Structure formats: C-alpha cells, structure tokens
Structure 1
Amino acid sequence: MTNDANANPSLTLAERIADTLAVNGVRRIFGVPGGGSSLDLIDAAADRGIEFVLCRTETAAAIMAAVTGELTSIPGVVLTGIGPGAASVVNGIAYASLERAPVVVFTDAHDQTATAPPHQIFDQPSLFGPISKAQERLSPPDGATSFERLFELAAAEPPGPVHIDLSARDAGANSPAPSPWDRASLPVPETAPLENSSELLASARRPVLIVGLQCRHDERADAANTLADSLGCPVMTTYKAKGIVPESSPLNVGLYTGAKLDNSVLAEADLILFCGVDPVEMIPGKWPHSAPVIVLSETPRLAWPFEPDIEIAAPVAVSANYLAGRSSASTWTGEEIGSQKTRLREIVANSAAAGRSPDEIIDAAAAAVPTNARLAVDAGAHMFSAMSRWPASAPHDVLKSNGLSTMGYAVPAALASWLEQTDRPAVAITGDGGMMMSLAELSTAARLGANLTVIVLNDGALSLIDIKQQRQQRPPLGVRYSKSDFATAARGMGCDAWTVGGQDPLEFALAEAFEANGPTLIDVSVDPSGYRDQLTALRG
C-alpha cells in the first residue's frame, strides 16, 4: 500500500493513519472524542477530506461505523475518549464482532512515560480482547506499518473489529512511512470436497439451500442466485442475508434462523446446503435433522451445531459457481415450493386481538415508503412481523442486528445507511425499548438533515421478554412501563413527528413523514396481544 505522502519523512503517526484511511476509501469517522489522540486523528482526517460525525453515544457511533463497514466492505472507523468512552463503546464493538462487521476502534490512551494517578485508566486492550480480532497500542517507530496490518485484518474473513490504543503524545510524534509486508493469499478450493459435493447434489431429490451473511458481496450474491437457479429448490435466507435471493423469486420461501418453523422446511430435505452462512446467525438449539449437510464458507471450522458431511472453506463465489455448473436431480415442483412459501407466511402472521397489529403497521409502511428506501429493524417482538413482511430484493435492503440482537440498533443503523447513500431514504422500525436506548441520536439526525423516518411500535413494554416471562408463568415484573411520548421528544430534538393512536388512521402520518424534509418520527400504538402466538408458531 503506497501513496505520495509516504515520501514525506515528517508526518506524524496520526497523519500516517489518516493517509491509510484516505487511500482505502474511508470517508468518515464516527465517535465521541476525548481530549487526547482523538483530536489529532480528527484534525489529520479532516485535512484529507475525511468527515468526523459527532454522535451522542459511543455505542451508536460504533454501530454506525459497523454498518458503514458492512455496506462498503471497507472497515468503519470509530473513536472514543479514554476510560468511560472506551467502556461505553463496548456494545457497538460486540455488534461488530458477532455480526462480522469490519471496524477499527481507536481509544485515547494515557502517556506511559507520564507520572500520574490512575484516573480513568484501566486495561483497555483486555476489555476488548474477547470481542475484537486484535488489540494493539501504536507507537511512532512502527505504528504506521502496524496500522496498515490492523486495517486489513479488520476486513479479512471473517471480518470484525480491531482495537487500537493511542496516546496523544504518540499520535503527535513523527512516524516513518509504512514498511512493505507480506499479505496472505486467498485459499483455493480443494478438488475432492467439490467433487464429493457434486456427487451428493447429483443424487439429492429434495435439496434445500440456505444463504447467509457472507454472500452479501455482489460477486457472492450473484453466485448464490446462480446456484439457487441451478438447484431449482426451496431457498431460505438468514436475517442478515435477506434480499440476496429476491423475495419475489419463486424459489425464496422465507427466512431461516434455526427455529421450529424454519426447520419444518428442512425436515423435508434429503440434502441441506449452507452457502455463506455463519453459525452466529442461528438461534441456539439442538440440530434436529439427519439429512447430509454441505457447508460453503469463507472461514473454516466454524462452530456449527452439527458436523458437516462436507465443508468447503474457500471463496464462496468460486465454490457456488462450481456446484451450479454440475447436474441437479431435484424433483421439487414450483407448486410445492410456492406452497411452502405461503404456509410459512400464513403461520407467522400476527393476529392481534383488538387493536392495530404489527403486521398492519409494517404493511402500511412498506406500501407508503419510497421505492429505494432501506429499512433498519431493531431487536424486539416487532422484528418478527418486520422481517417476514417487509419486501427485499437485494443485499442490505434490510439491516438487522442478528448475531448480537442488540436493542437500540435501528436508529443509528438507518442513519449510517443514509450517510453512506444520501440518495436512498432510510427507515428505522423500533419498539419503545429500543427507541429509549437510541433516542439521543434523533438530534444527530436533525443536525445532519438526514432523510430518515423512525417508526416506533409503542406498547409500553419489553414485549419479547414479557412473552417469555408469561410462558414461564411468572408474574409481570420488570418488563412493563408507562408509555412515553416519543413524538414530543422528537420534536424537541428538531424532528417532525406524529402520534398515531390505536384507532387513528396511520396512512396520513406515513405520507406526511415520507414527504417531509429532514428526519421524522411516527409514534404508533400497537396491540401486543398477538406476539405470544406468533412466537410460539416460530419457535415452539
């Protein structure tokens, strides 16, 4: 990796880092800065045309960086202050770790040569150890080279976060240009596993294909679709892979999470083929199937709940295209696949007892939204309706925290989406719990003038936990609270907002929100009475 700035011997380490970011296409840094190296990095990045996006919380900043990394395949960048800033960013970095998102997190660090009390000082690298691919304190003599390695490591399969401690003293010191270093080559698929997979496919009459998050890259998505067409069998996608195989495709029967309902499709299979799936996308549980399993993965030896009959750890696009060129003996008919699709959709429908159901809200929003809008969905009971009913026809049409399943995700994720593609409106669907966890970022959206619409399904409860509590026949403690007025709060932060009661028409508010300039919020009352039956239908 070279650039003209490398010839300048008098650049600081912060400037060397900013050069590497600029050369690799990083366009913005997210964060809540401290008074140390954060300021050096912000200045150096600004001199190279890299924008700093000030966020209200470190967790939201990390989620924005992670989503940027997922959308671009270029590591997103987040920076924080020392101590409390580093501690506060952890949930967002855990998201990046479990969702396989490339991220670089910079934390201010103390000057190791200074004599000072341990105010705000703790072992930050150890804090990030379990949730990052590498942790390193950069120093001027070799910091530029180390940063290049760490930046590329974040993007290498499986993508994930790397943590960098950097003091103001080291950031501002002169640093040599990066030295050349060897880069790992991509693995080449072994011939024997490919041939054995071809033989299994050639004999399978009822194969089922499951497509996962590794296939979100264009080349891999194309290969997954080619393989699906070749097999002519039912296809399911994970939450993170929603849209890779367009949901309008007659082969796409629905979503796969490893739950009871999903497994009813796999129960009819005589061969199960995972293409680019990461086990972190599956909910915990015993593997109930006896059919042979083929795994196509960028990463070997992942923590599957079964022993694959064949694992091909190599570029997924190469493996999928190879298998697509071989013969298939599938006997699935279009009518059978279509009936599976209809059955899954009907079973997962939410039938609220009296008021407005989450299905009604999702259907109305999907009908009113601009055609190129991208959706971000928060964790919570509302996600079942949102994920099953919102249409998607391409990778990243819908953003969802799945591996971590963190609340407070939808608003910063949607904001990051809009920042990356300002010509594409963003929609965030969240519950009241998730909205409370990300409320402050509405002010960030207002400051930036984001084309963002937030729809809050408000039922005054942690509904998914409430349901689990009910199923265990426990008293309703710790899961319900009085409803908050999110519309008033949003207006106070500079957003246009509407409140829609249980019997009020929703379509007017949706039309107004999607036509408005700048961020908007709709606080809509939802009837949670159908969630319990919906969860039972999905997961048993």
Structure 2
Amino acid sequence: MLFHEAVARAMTDHGITTVFGLMGDANLYLTDAFVRLHGGVFISTSNEAGAVLAAHGYAQATGRLGVATVTHGPALTNTVTALVEAARERTPLLLLAGDTAAADRDNFQNIAQRDVVIPTGAGFEQVRTPDTIGEDLATAVRRAVTELRPIVLNIPVDFQWQEIDYRPQAGPRWVAPAPLAPTGDALDEAAGIIASAKRPVILAGRGAQEPEAKEALIRLAQRVGAPLATTFRARDLFRGEPHDLGICGTLSHEIALETILAADCIVAFGASLNKWTTAQGSMLEGRAVVQVDSERAALGRFQAVEAAVHGDAGVVADALVTMLDEAEVKPTGFASPGLAERLTKRSDADFVDQSTEHSVDHRSAILRLEAAFPAEKTLVFDGGRFIMQCLHMFHVRHPKDYVHTINFGSIGLGMGHAIGAAQGSGKPTLLVTGDGGFMLGGLAEFNTAVRHGLDLVVVVFNDGAYGAEHIQMRRKQMDPVRTTFDWPEFAAVADSLGGKGYTARNLAELDVALEELPRRNRPVLIDVKLDPDRVAVPDFY
C-alpha cells in the first residue's frame, strides 16, 4: 500500500479512533486516509497548539491515548507550549508531525525538529524508512503509554506516496501495570505509626483516585476513625462522605485547615506532598507522615516522611486494615459526629456579595453556574486570577471529570483542552476562562467547537484586564492602565463565530443566560463582566 495509507492503517491497528489536528502538505494524505479508509474521526482545529491541547484534553477526559497531527516547520513550533503542558501533566500523547524532506535543506519551513521537541519534555521518535512505519509507530505509542508523556513521531514528507509492504504488529508492545503489593518492613512501620496515632487524617492524591482505591481508603478511614482529605488533583473524590475535609493545602477551607493542623498523623496515598498540598511543608510539621505510592520516585520527593511504602494505594490500605484488625487497634474517634455536623453546615456562599448593576462578583457567578449546570459534566479552567475561587467552589462527580490546564502557568490553554474533553467525554463541558485567556487561545478555537457540534459552554470572567498584572500594579500604588484592554463584545463575537453569546453585566442578566442553557443547540459563550478592583483573590496571589 502507499505509505500514507499505511500510517492510517497503523493508527487504526493501535485502536486510535480520534485525531485532532491541522493539515498541511506533510500530513494531508495520512489524515485523509485515516478518515476515508478507516472511518476515523478528525477534529480540525484552527491552530496547531489547539490540536495538541485538544488531544491532551481528550486524554485527560477519557484515560486513553490522545493523538494529534500537524505538518512541519512552523506548525511544529506552534505546539511547543502545548507539549510542555502535556509533558508536565504526564499525559500519554502521540503527535504525528510531518517533516521536511532531508534532501530539501533550503525549504522555507525546514528546522531541526528534534531540537525543537526535546526541551519541552516530550520524547522524539523518527520514522526511519517507509517500510518501518509499523514498528516505528508502535514504538512511539509504547513510549507514550509507558513513559507517560507526549511522543512526537517525525514523518518525512517525501515518504507519503512511496509504495511499501505494510506489516502490522503482532500485538501490543506494553503491559498494563498490575496492583503493586508492598514488601519489606515499611508496611509494619506504617501500621505502627497509624496504630499509635490519636488524630489521624487520610489524604488521597491523584494516584489513589481509581474506584477500588477510593473504597479501600474509605474502609481504612472508618477503621481508624480518620477524616478524609484530598490533594487538589484528587478533588471531590470523597464528596458526600460525612467526614470529607475537601482539599488539603493552600486551598483548604477553614474547618479543613483547623482539623488538619490538629492532626498528629497524615497518611498519604498517591500524593506527592508538594508545596501546594502541604502549604510549603507547614501542614506536615510536628505530624507523623506515612506516604504510600506505587511510583518509587515519588516517595520522599518533596517531604521527609516517617514511613514510605512502595505499593498500590488500594492494596496497601486493605493490608493496613487487616493488620490493625489483627492487633485489635481501636478507632480514634477523630472523625467525630461533631466534625461531620460542622462540615455539613459549612457553605461556599459564606461571603458578602460585591456585585453591582454593572459588574458581577465572580464568586456569586460560580455559585449560580454550579447550580445551573448538570452535576455530570466535564470541567475545564483556563489560567487567570479568577481561578483561585474556581478551584474550590466548582465541583465534579469524579476527579477525572476535571481537566487541568495550568501546569506551565500559561493562560490561553483552556479552549483547546475543552474541545478535546468535550469530544472525548461526551458530557456537557464547562470552560471557565478569563478575557485575556480567551483572546489569546480561545477566540479562533471557539469556532472549532461550533464546526464540530460540541456541547460546550464557555464562561468568560471579563475584568477587561490582565488580572495578575493589574493587582500587582494596584498593590504597588501604580497606575494599571497598561494592563487594561478595550475588548470587543464577546457575545457578538460568539454569535458571529456560529455560537450563541450572552452578556451578563449583573446577576439578573446572568440568571437570564443560565435559564436559556437547557435549550442550547450550539456552543454558548457567557460574557460575565467583572470589576478588576473587585476580584477576590487570596493574599498570597
């Protein structure tokens, strides 16, 4: 078959059904063959960065390999920020990148593509010859899945129309990890620390969010009488449990903070214990810490711990319950009825609304959005100062329903992620972005969502400024005029791009827009006007 047909066949052989991308001369034909010959779904984006971000959002929302394709030269350089984001998230992602023919060294788009990719943290795999495409693509997929990062498969443009003898791979080149049981004395040390604790807290991280691990941690918490908490990336894992403290760290609410600071033992499962989870280590000071992780390199990476257990979260939690039962250790009672009652009474609405006739308090907007949007949703945030309230006031059914976009500290990445997440999850998807982020990375891709009929609602918290810079200028008593912008009316822009736009200058107008949401039949944008001097942020921001 022709080489470009073989690439499409190899993709299909690996179970790839959806590809995000932007076509050019070096990937045009393989993309066409993927759709025409194999019934693949191709989501065409407006920018190459959007393609990789969409593949990243798809991977986060589905747990499957995200796949994108771009042509060569400037197309690949446009993906650099997106590759960094995906690499830092540790997401399996395959990027099929065309490359200039080796003989065409004076081509305008020629660049050393490997040298572009490697600094991002992504891996690079070269298609060696047309006849090795089956093996080379299998290697790239295996690396993406096992190394947990993007792999760029570099495909020279001059291979496209060569005839080859395609040989499919006999089977997968990787094995899914099995639950890891702990060995050695570490488990005994952990059980001893927990048995002697009077006020333990169970902390779940991203590595403990699978259903089996969740249930095992709940059993352990009930066995020792411990409240439950999560890292931000495991947010809402225990939502609905009577002793759920929510997020541990810089985003903790007052009851959670008080309870964790009163604890004498923290038992962390699948949590890296980084500076945000531990508030620069202050939340662990004076407390015995047990850390459990299936990844050996995570143990003790950020914090010294009293016991480090290398094992699967669920397996270790159940083993600890058995050991505590055998030793007849009594529950502590730290997870008391009184604590449960206080948590039940606590509300995110405990603040003084600062909305006016011409601006909305974004905290009030969050509460209304949370009430109006289905609980079964996919949630995406762009970067910006508004995000600090979003991080703990919006909720999801499961941590995997939240798509993270701020590993690189960049604004403008939310829309691409939301497109991939909406396509992959099949759930209503809510993107919350700022005005600067929308203009930077969301404007063109909003039309991508329209063209592909995605169920996407975009809320723009619009303070007419670059918020982080605005607040810094204000705090130094400087004129923030250069941080402010006279943007177009986003509702009209959304309409012109084929969606439906609403403007909310006050809470009454926001309520009107939210009442219309159940009748939406296209992507929606709600432009929520904020006062740049009334955006509530934590003191450390």
Q: State the TM-score, normalizing by the size of structure 2.
A: 0.86
Closer, same or farther in 2 for the Cα pair 1:266/1:519, shift >3 Å? same
Aligned to 2:297, what secondary structure does the other structure show?
coil
Checking the alignment, whether the CA contact within 8 Å between 1:350 and 1:358 is kept in structure 2 is: no
- TM-superposed CA distance for 1:402, in Å, is 4.1
1:490 aligns with 2:494: yes
> 2:428 aligns to what?
425
1:299 aligns with 2:295: yes
- TM-superposed CA distance for 1:383, in Å, is 1.7
> 1:364 aligns to what?
368
> 2:53 aligns to what?
63
Checking the alignment, whether the CA contact within 8 Å between 2:181 and 2:316 is kept in structure 1 is: no
1:177 aligns with 2:174: no
- TM-superposed CA distance for 1:30, in Å, is 0.4
Over residues 180-212 of structure 1, what are the superposed CA-to-partner deviations in whole Å (9 max), with x where a residue is unaligned? 797466555324222222222222222223322
1:308 aligns with 2:302: no
Identify the match of residue 390 of structure 2 among 386, 393, 398. Answer: 386
Aligned to 2:233, what secondary structure does the other structure show?
coil
Query: What is the aligned-residue RMSD (CA, Å)?
Result: 3.1
> 1:411 aligns to what?
415
In structure 2, how many angstroms separate the alpha carbons of the residues matched to 1:452 and 1:529? 29
Checking the alignment, whether the CA contact within 8 Å between 1:373 and 1:425 is kept in structure 2 is: yes
- TM-superposed CA distance for 1:486, in Å, is 0.6
Aligned to 1:149, what secondary structure does the other structure show?
helix
- TM-superposed CA distance for 1:236, in Å, is 2.7
Amino acid at match of 1:335: G
Closer, same or farther in 2 for the Cα pair 1:401/1:504, shift >3 Å? same
Identify the match of residue 509 of structure 1 among 509, 513, 522. Answer: 513
1:100 aligns with 2:90: yes
Checking the alignment, whether the CA contact within 8 Å between 2:58 and 2:425 is kept in structure 1 is: no
1:236 aligns with 2:229: yes
Where does the alignment leave 5 or more consecutive residues of structure 1 unmatched?
1-10
In structure 2, how many angstroms separate the alpha carbons of the residues matched to 1:20 and 1:473? 60
Checking the alignment, whether the CA contact within 8 Å between 1:357 and 1:528 is kept in structure 2 is: no
Over residues 396-430 of structure 1, what are the superposed CA-to-partner deviations in whole Å (9 max), with x where a residue is unaligned? 233332433432233333322221233x2111111
Checking the alignment, whether the CA contact within 8 Å between 2:380 and 2:402 is kept in structure 1 is: yes
- TM-superposed CA distance for 1:362, in Å, is 0.9
Checking the alignment, whether the CA contact within 8 Å between 1:73 and 1:155 is kept in structure 2 is: no
In structure 2, how many angstroms separate the alpha carbons of the residues matched to 1:176 and 1:402? 41
> 1:122 aligns to what?
111
1:273 aligns with 2:290: no
Aligned to 1:240, what secondary structure does the other structure show?
helix
> 1:195 aligns to what?
188
Amino acid at match of 1:268: A
1:166 aligns with 2:155: yes
> 1:252 aligns to what?
244
- TM-superposed CA distance for 1:517, in Å, is 0.8
Aligned to 2:400, what secondary structure does the other structure show?
coil
In structure 1, how many angstroms separate the alpha carbons of the residues matched to 2:510 and 2:273? 38
Over residues 153-181 of structure 1, what are the superposed CA-to-partner deviations in whole Å (9 max), with x where a residue is unaligned? 22236x22112211123355424433779
In structure 2, how many angstroms separate the alpha carbons of the residues matched to 1:279 and 1:201? 18
- TM-superposed CA distance for 1:379, in Å, is 1.6
Where does the alignment leave 5 or more consecutive residues of structure 2 unmatched?
none
In structure 2, how many angstroms separate the alpha carbons of the residues matched to 1:391 and 1:503? 21
Tell me the matched-pair count.
522
> 1:318 aligns to what?
315
1:535 aligns with 2:538: yes
- TM-superposed CA distance for 1:387, in Å, is 2.4
Amino acid at match of 2:20: F
In structure 2, how many angstroms separate the alpha carbons of the residues matched to 1:170 and 1:281? 48
Closer, same or farther in 2 for the Cα pair 1:274/1:49, shift >3 Å? farther
Over residues 326-374 of structure 1, what are the superposed CA-to-partner deviations in whole Å (9 max), with x where a residue is unaligned? 4374431132355468679578x57537542111111111111234232
> 1:7 aligns to what?
none
1:446 aligns with 2:442: no
Amino acid at match of 1:84: P
1:462 aligns with 2:457: no
1:435 aligns with 2:438: yes
